[in-house]
Amino acid sequence: MQLSNSEEQLMQHLWKLEKAFMKDLLDQYPDPKPATTTVATLLKRIIDKNFISYNEIGNARQYFPLVKKTDYFSKHVNGLIKNFFNNSASQFASFFTTETNLSKNELEELQKIIDQQLQKKKK
Assess if CATH 3.30.470.10 describes domain 5-65: no
Binned at pLDDT 50, 70 and 90, residue 12 comes out as very high
What is the reported pLDDT for 26? 96
pLDDT tens-digit readout, 68-120? 999 998 888 888 888 888 888 888 888 888 888 888 899 889 889 888 888 88
How many residues are present in the chain? 123
What is the reported pLDDT for 110? 87
- Domain limits, the chain: 5-65, 69-122
What is the reported pLDDT for 78? 85
DSSP string, 48-75: HTTSEEEEEETTEEEEEESS-HHHHHHH
pTM: predicted TM-score of the whole model, two decimal places: 0.75
